[in-house]
Structure 1
């Protein structure tokens, strides 16, 4: 099992790294070159840099991920690709993507994009809260436990 993180704007990398270390699970942070950092991560954490092009990180994650791995992303497109491969996919705000909710999420994203193109204003995401962090931590630990048992 490995944890793949769509890491460009992920506010829970510290939680992922901490909890994955507790379970001795490798973490792969996939990020664009525009977010290059010399920051050293603990053992068991690898950073893969990709071009800054749209969806480059998503495509690399999909190429690398295997059954039994976990993806953490806020990108609905990547989530749908991960689900199609039978992967557990988690959102940083503490919910799990499923075959039951992905179609509605993609539809909402599409309708918002159509509205923006026609000049309408749409709401952005709500601010990330401490409650979101804890909700993610609990979901993440539960997902790891389920995948280790499964």
Structure 2
């Protein structure tokens, strides 16, 4: 069974993408990046979608075929929730593994933050990516790839 890694490349940090493109093939994984036409992404297997809202997310969800042998890498909690619902693993570029146990809380926090931004009109924007984020991501990616790789005991 082939391990597949689908990358939401619309807002993927460059160092995280390079880590994925290096590590995943070492585990026999097929890596597919997906982004809208507004982003210039270079990878061996890349799919470009139109710039309509959610086009990248819907394309990735449509590509998930096999339960237990797919990893979706995204910053988007909604896409992560949909991927989990289809039996895929999901990981953020900061190293947070999305799970059935944490996704509802994360979605609720996202909604509360959006409500707060609408009420105040203020947004801090995302935190700057740190070296610790990169290390946490590499460690989590390694762990998940080992767990999902063909022949791994589940």
The question of a shared fold, defined as TM-score above 0.5 by the shorter chain, is answered with yes
- Residue deviations 1:40-91, cap 9 Å, x none? x4xxx30000011111100000000122110000000000001111110001
Task: State the distance in 1 between where 2:33 and 2:113 align.
Answer: 29
Task: State the distance in 2 between where 1:132 and 1:118 align.
Answer: 30
Q: Secondary structure at 1:49's aligned position in 2? A: strand
Runs of 5+ unmatched residues, structure 1: none
TM-score where L is the length of structure 2: 0.88
Q: Which runs of 4+ in 1 moved over 2 A?
A: 119-125
TM-score where L is the length of structure 1: 0.91
Give the deviation of 1:122 after TM superposition: 4.2
Q: Does 1:115 align with 2:119?
A: no
Match of residue 48 from structure 1: 47
Task: State the distance in 1 between where 2:52 and 2:82 align.
Answer: 18
Alignment of 1:96-111 (within 5 A): 96-111=97-112
Runs of 5+ unmatched residues, structure 2: none
Match of residue 39 from structure 2: 35
Give the deviation of 1:116 after TM superposition: 1.5
- Residue deviations 1:88-134, cap 9 Å, x none? 00010011001111111111111111112222424433211111111
Match of residue 9 from structure 1: 11
Maintained 8 Å contact 2:74/2:91: yes
How large is the RMSD of aligned CA atoms in angstroms? 1.3
